[in-house]
Structure 1
């Protein structure tokens, strides 16, 4: 009885003339082995990764810029944190009591939420039917690109019945019309949202402010918004707001090396399948003598 203690493969060599149909088919199959992965990738539009995403929480700070507008049965009541605008309001100005607080809930060094309470005193028989509130923020990103911009949160609510208070909850998030750069500094929109130095009443209209802000390609906005209107008549109108600085997926242009890494992984994965498949085709063509070759057996060493 014999048992196997060692084995050694025997390689057979197949040869063909340089200028022959066999050589042409061999070159064609190897060319297809290289090109076919590229064709599949391009047809599925996935070779070059132009945009990448990063899950990040923006570094947000409340700038204490406030513009408040109440609609009452006696006309509008307005207040802001900007003295030059308040000076234009005359009898429309109504000064409230404002309390704000920013919290770092998970103690990671980044603010997570903002609480705002605004109490506006009312004259007897003044009824509030609508409220519009604008808050300004300093928003920064640090992980991939140094981004700085001035953001805005706008809340508006109206009711057919007079109210004494309103509370709302929401997420302050970034809205992008364009990907952000993958490196360097980006501060194109780090300019004032509100017309701080303007003395033109037209510039301070909420519609004008929102129209100009809407044209920016990167903005902040309120999402996941919930509000509660408390009907009734009171000597004060109270606004209670709680905003969460949300983590979100942000889009960036990819770097050259990231694009190359993504393309190489895709090509290599398809190339392995292509190589194995076409090598099987060559083996079948040769071993079944579909194409003409000369088999060279290994010589036995003397």
Structure 2
């Protein structure tokens, strides 16, 4: 009659010994070698604690309709200027030129967040005046919400000059976030929610571009107009205004931030366990070899299941 296997199960052996034996010391050594070295390997391989992380977010940007414009009309220091700040305009005297300006912000993908600003400015000039350079400051409200709530007043600085007088300046660029330090992972940060230009000051020093830009650049977090790609158009008619056309996009930003405690623990735990599994597998095979071959004396005791009738 043919014999075949109807059922199988592994046999379980227990290896017993007293406390003060070589087998006990060996087991303690194996436990230490199993759990401590993976921690040291993970820590010494750098990046065990996650100190900096990044995420993507499209900021909520709003043009604040604050403009400061200075345009050189000669190479000898003559200029014309205008701003949305009355105190600045009062200081200009005969250099003041009031332009016509239009601004339109668009939500191109209909996600509830504005994507770009289209600005058109026409600066009136005397027939004898020509424009050789332009310096323009536009201010924005800039907000982030995904991790911490970050709110600031920011700006875009547009500048271009040419040895040949022009009739139009076209600029197209991205309003990008610049970080010297990461954001917090939660909370409210309004450190830089202050005006870029002090429009209430009656003093000319408050509107000096060197002062404004120098103070702005001291911020740890700011915005800059990236890749403006200026186009300087020549050939202005005698009584035609000088035109400035700007397209400023608000792209998705890669934001760096300081991870919180639980995110750090999660990242460290993943690294530790991935190395621990290797040590568990190797040292378990070592224990099986040592005890099955009685390298260290122990008493094997089979586990017998008792069935109650």
Q: SS of the counterpart of 2:91?
A: helix
Instruction: Write out per-residue CA displacement over residues 185-218 of structure 1, whole angstroms, 9 at most, x where no aligned residue.
Output: 1101000101211122122111110100011111
Pairing partner for 2:128 from 99, 121, 125? 125
Residues 1:121 and 1:17: Cα distance change in structure 2 (over 3 Å)? same
Aligned to 1:55: 56
* Alignment gaps of 5+ in structure 1: none
What displacement does 1:263 show?
A: 2.1
Instruction: Write out per-residue CA displacement over residues 111-139 of structure 1, whole angstroms, 9 at most, x where no aligned residue.
Output: 11000011111212322111111000001
Instruction: Write out per-residue CA displacement over residues 207-261 of structure 1, whole angstroms, 9 at most, x where no aligned residue.
Output: 1101000111111111132121112233321110001101011122222222222
Aligned to 1:45: 46
Instruction: Report whether the alignment pairs 1:274 with 2:275.
Output: no
The root-mean-square deviation of aligned C-alpha atoms, in Å, is: 1.8
What displacement does 1:168 show?
A: 0.9
Aligned to 1:16: 17
TM-score normalized by the length of structure 2: 0.92
Instruction: Write out per-residue CA displacement over residues 172-197 of structure 1, whole angstroms, 9 at most, x where no aligned residue.
Output: 12111111122221101000101211
Instruction: Report whether the alignment pairs 1:208 with 2:225.
Output: no
Instruction: Write out per-residue CA displacement over residues 29-69 of structure 1, whole angstroms, 9 at most, x where no aligned residue.
Output: 11121112211211122332233322100000000010111
Aligned to 2:295: 290
Instruction: Report whether the alignment pairs 1:140 with 2:143.
Output: yes
Q: SS of the counterpart of 1:5?
A: coil
Aligned to 2:248: 243
* Count of residues in correspondence between the two structures: 302
Distance in 1 (alpha carbons) for counterparts of 2:4 and 2:210? 92
Pairing partner for 1:192 from 184, 195, 209? 195
* Alignment gaps of 5+ in structure 2: none
Instruction: Report whether the alignment pairs 1:100 with 2:97.
Output: no
Aligned to 1:78: 81
Residues 1:288 and 1:160: Cα distance change in structure 2 (over 3 Å)? farther
Pairing partner for 1:113 from 113, 116, 126? 116
Alignment of 1:144-163 (within 5 A): 144-163=147-166
Distance in 2 (alpha carbons) for counterparts of 1:117 and 1:300? 89
Aligned to 2:229: 226
Alignment of 1:23-34 (within 5 A): 23-34=24-35
Bigger mean CA deviation after superposition, 12-21 or 212-221 = 12-21
Distance in 2 (alpha carbons) for counterparts of 1:87 and 1:301? 102
Q: SS of the counterpart of 1:225?
A: coil
What displacement does 1:100 show?
A: 0.4
Aligned to 1:36: 37
What displacement does 1:300 show?
A: 8.6
Bigger mean CA deviation after superposition, 58-67 or 16-25 = 16-25
Residues 1:300 and 1:122: Cα distance change in structure 2 (over 3 Å)? closer
Distance in 1 (alpha carbons) for counterparts of 2:305 and 2:52? 60
Distance in 2 (alpha carbons) for counterparts of 1:127 and 1:281? 87
Bigger mean CA deviation after superposition, 288-297 or 265-274 = 288-297
Pairing partner for 1:169 from 169, 172, 189? 172
Distance in 2 (alpha carbons) for counterparts of 1:299 and 1:243? 79
Bigger mean CA deviation after superposition, 41-50 or 88-97 = 41-50
Distance in 2 (alpha carbons) for counterparts of 1:47 and 1:267? 8
